[in-house]
Amino acid sequence: MHASGDRGQAFPIYIVTVAGLLFAAFAFFAISQAAVVRSGAQKAADAAALAAAGDARDHLVPGLDLTKLKPEEWGRLLDGRLFDAAGACAAAADFAASNGATASCESALPSFTVEATTNAGVGSSVVPGISGTRGTAKATARIEPRCTLGSEPVPGGEPPSDGSPPPKSDPVDIRCRGGNVIHLDPSKPDPWRTLARSLFDVRLVH
């Protein structure tokens, strides 16, 4: 009778213990889900910020004529002050969408800050306040110059009144990190998108 009574008393304790373990397991699963959602938001924010900075780097202000630039204007270009950021935040939104998120973007050349929110949230959870929670994260990317002007270019002049070709601008030497020198003919430059990737780095900053 005594042993049977002990078993009867132990059974409720067993039930409570199992219930507690199950709750802990579900809670751990919910917290893991939340961590995954937050990680997804951070990846989306990082990708979107890099996309915004990369898009700006790849576009110069409209109408810029390299053959007419004076030395100080070349300096501004190589410092990253002549970018066109008109489409940068749209690029950020596109990249966030491809990563399952929406994004808000702030442009402050040469930096772009993006806040991403995941479209999907945490599923049903036993942990109060977690169910349906979406992940949010911020990231900032910056365009950083890696080259300086190595020679003093002479810009091309206006066409003479007699109709002959205008004077050509001098080639430009651009010196970059690592000892690389770019010899640029302003009248026949590579596509800016290609050239820009040699002149500037785009990276996340914290």
Buried b (16+ CB within 10 A) or exposed e, 173-187: ebbbeeeeeeebebe
Task: Give the pLDDT of the chain (206 residues) as one tens digit per residue.
Answer: 455 555 556 656 656 565 555 555 555 555 555 556 788 889 999 999 999 999 999 999 999 998 888 888 999 999 999 999 999 999 999 999 998 899 999 999 999 999 999 887 654 444 444 455 778 899 999 999 999 998 666 565 555 555 555 556 678 899 999 889 999 988 888 899 999 999 999 999 97
Task: Tell me: cis bond preceding 128? Omega within 30 of 0 counts.
Answer: no
Query: Which uninterrupted H or E stretch holds 117?
Result: strand 111-121
Distance CA 71, CA 85 (A): 23
